[in-house]
């Protein structure tokens, strides 16, 4: 075989009428015998920041004694059995648990703010900034971690970042305690005055990822005909495969199979929701599954294919909305979420609340396995990713913001070693850990929010 410097562009697309499909990374995109060939295999860091509201049972006095959230052991000698993180055990080598940190900027600083913790906490999680108390348009928080990363590194991709959610977050105007609803609607802020809307409908996400350069009418026509986006690019696929080696052909086929399967599942949800049968979520968009786990997994799959094709490298993902009373029956608890979080410090109710926390975390291994099984250069996506999971609330029964739940997953291209539990000193700001991961991501920052210094995330 003749080796030349000819290669496919990383931005090569499969195109058809009303459809545009980005490609995964292929060996054919690397020019042979060049400096790029030696560096292209090193993946770019992907970021997913996940927030789940209402803190954790492990932030209570009883929960701490029972290690309901974080394990008793620190360093690499920790046992996840009995904790809400137990489902992450198969991925402990990628796991960095940070416990015992506080989020002071989510607390009430003045009398009018007392009791309003649910209506400002989400805005603090990724900004670590104090939100302005207002129901008007003069909202003010801070630039969120994901957007700081997007502003520096997100411009290399067709979509700089995407913001996703599971719960209804399209409320308008003012919420309770004189706070604008926008503070609970999103966790992403492009600046202190620019909250970013979040997408709840998997169909809308799919169309953004695979509709670049197409018109809304063309996308509607494709859906109306109940055809796959891949049916519109078959000729383009056939032409491309003629130029690829065996390994690249297999990788392309696996990727397209993933895209087709995601689209098939979205179509199935839409068909079911249009059947006229009563829905558990009657007000939800037609593409939103009623089942929480089905919805979350669809969104995770969309994030994975977006990473594989380098359409975007940055997602924020809001799994819940404060004061939501959704019931998560598969968790083993029949309690409504917000009601369960106000457990009155009763041990039996804290145990019940932990079931919900544990169920929420159990969604994450699906994402981790998806990323780990997706090639990225000479490694995989999980090696080259950072996943943040946590909440800016601690014990929700008291509406406090102490000992808040937080963990990181992924090796960030070798920057985080994983298999580590770091228990911070009392009073340590969560912002210290957030500052450290931003520095790990390549952002040159000395402070963030109320940080007092960067935290060593590879010690122990």
pLDDT digits (tens, 9 = 90+) for 122-152: 999 999 999 999 999 999 999 999 999 999 9
Is the pTM higher than 0.85? The answer reads: yes
pLDDT of the residue at 38: 42
Three-class HEC string of 1-64: CCCCCCCCCCCCEEEECCEEEECCCCHHHCCCCCHHHHHCCCCCCEEEEEECCCECHHHCHHHH
Are 48 and 315 within 8 A, CB to CB?
yes
pLDDT of the residue at 14: 85
Tens of pLDDT, residue by residue over 368-402, are 999 999 999 889 999 999 999 999 999 999 999 99
Are 410 and 389 within 8 A, CB to CB?
no
Per-residue pLDDT band at 8 (split at 50, 70, 90): confident
pLDDT of the residue at 235: 83
Are 301 and 315 within 8 A, CB to CB?
no
Which of 102-106, 153-157, 173-177, 411-415 shows the lowest mean pLDDT across its residues?
Answer: 173-177
Tens of pLDDT, residue by residue over 268-296, are 999 999 998 999 998 899 999 999 999 99
Are 86 and 353 within 8 A, CB to CB?
no
Tens of pLDDT, residue by residue over 300-349, are 999 999 999 999 999 999 999 999 999 999 999 999 999 999 999 999 99
Residue located via tokens 């900034």: 129
Tens of pLDDT, residue by residue over 148-179, are 999 999 999 999 999 999 998 766 566 789 99
pLDDT of the residue at 172: 58
pLDDT of the residue at 224: 60
pLDDT of the residue at 430: 98
pLDDT of the residue at 4: 41
d(CA 69, CA 371) in angstroms, rounded, equals: 24
Give the mean model confidence (pLDDT) for residues 437-452: 97
d(CA 199, CA 210) in angstroms, rounded, equals: 15
Query: Cβ neighbours of residue 116 under 8 Å, at least 6 residues apart?
Result: 108, 133, 176, 177, 178, 179
d(CA 343, CA 86) in angstroms, rounded, equals: 22
**Res. 223: pLDDT tops 80:** no
298: nearest Cα among 408, 401, 446, 166: 166
Query: Cβ neighbours of residue 82 under 8 Å, at least 6 residues apart?
Result: 66, 67, 68
Instruction: Please report, for residues 89, 357, 365, 377, the alpha-carbon distance to residue 86 in angstroms, rounded to integers and kept in the order given.
Output: 6, 11, 10, 30
Are 420 and 460 within 8 A, CB to CB?
yes
Token digits for 82? Answer: 């009995």
Beta bridge partners of 189: 195
pLDDT of the residue at 460: 67
The 10 Å Cβ neighbour count of residue 306 is 24
Angle, CA of 73, 76 and 79, to the nearest 5°: 45
Angle, CA of 423, 429 and 432, to the nearest 5°: 80
Residue located via tokens 């009601």: 339
pLDDT of the residue at 71: 98
Instruction: Please report, for residues 26, 53, 92, 268, 277, the alpha-carbon distance to residue 317 in angstroms, rounded to integers and kept in the order given.
Output: 28, 12, 22, 23, 29
Per-residue pLDDT band at 6 (split at 50, 70, 90): low
DSSP annotation of 460 reads -
Give the mean model confidence (pLDDT) for residues 423-452: 97
Beta bridge partners of 195: 189
């Amino acid at each position: 075989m003749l080796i030349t410097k000819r290669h496919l562009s990383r931005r090569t697309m499969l195109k058809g009428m009303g459809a545009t499909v980005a490609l995964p990374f292929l060996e054919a995109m690397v020019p042979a015998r060049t400096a790029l060939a030696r560096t292209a295999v090193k993946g770019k860091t992907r970021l997913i920041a996940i927030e789940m509201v209402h803190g954790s049972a492990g932030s209570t006095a009883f929960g701490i004694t029972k290690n309901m959230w974080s394990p008793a052991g620190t360093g690499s000698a920790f046992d996840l059995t009995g904790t809400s993180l137990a489902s992450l055990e198969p991925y402990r080598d990628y796991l960095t648990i940070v416990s015992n940190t506080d989020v002071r900027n989510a607390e009430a600083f003045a009398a009018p703010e007392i009791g309003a913790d649910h209506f400002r906490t989400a805005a603090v999680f990724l900004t670590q900034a104090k939100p302005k108390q207002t129901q008007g348009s003069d909202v003010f928080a801070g630039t969120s971690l994901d957007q700081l990363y997007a502003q520096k590194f997100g411009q290399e991709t067709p979509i700089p970042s995407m913001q996703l959610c599971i719960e209804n977050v399209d409320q308008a105007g003012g919420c309770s305690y004189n706070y604008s609803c926008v503070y609970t609607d999103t966790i992403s802020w492009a600046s202190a005055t620019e909250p970013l809307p979040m997408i709840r409908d998997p169909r809308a996400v799919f169309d953004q990822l695979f509709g670049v350069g197409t018109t809304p009418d063309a996308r509607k026509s494709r859906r109306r005909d109940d055809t796959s986006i891949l049916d519109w690019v078959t000729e383009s696929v056939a032409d491309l495969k003629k130029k690829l080696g065996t390994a690249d052909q297999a990788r392309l086929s696996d990727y397209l199979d993933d895209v087709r399967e995601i689209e098939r599942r979205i179509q199935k949800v839409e068909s079911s929701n249009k059947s006229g049968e009563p829905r558990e979520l009657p007000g939800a968009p037609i593409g939103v599954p009623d089942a929480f786990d089905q919805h979350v997994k669809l969104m995770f799959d969309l994030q994975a294919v977006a990473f594989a094709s380098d359409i975007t490298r940055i997602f924020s993902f809001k799994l819940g909305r404060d004061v939501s009373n959704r019931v998560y029956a598969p968790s083993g608890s029949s309690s409504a979420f917000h009601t369960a979080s106000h457990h009155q410090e009763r041990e039996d109710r804290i145990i019940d609340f932990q079931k919900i926390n544990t169920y929420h975390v159990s969604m994450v291994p699906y994402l981790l396995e998806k990323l780990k099984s997706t090639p990225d250069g000479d490694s995989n996506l999980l090696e080259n990713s950072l996943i943040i999971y946590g909440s800016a609330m601690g014990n929700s029964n008291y509406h406090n913001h102490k000992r808040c739940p937080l963990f990181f997953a992924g090796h960030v291209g070798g920057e985080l070693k994983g298999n580590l539990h770091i228990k911070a000193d009392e009073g340590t700001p969560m912002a210290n850990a957030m500052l450290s991961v931003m520095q790990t991501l390549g952002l040159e920052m000395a402070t963030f929010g109320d940080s007092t210094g960067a935290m060593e995330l590879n010690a122990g």
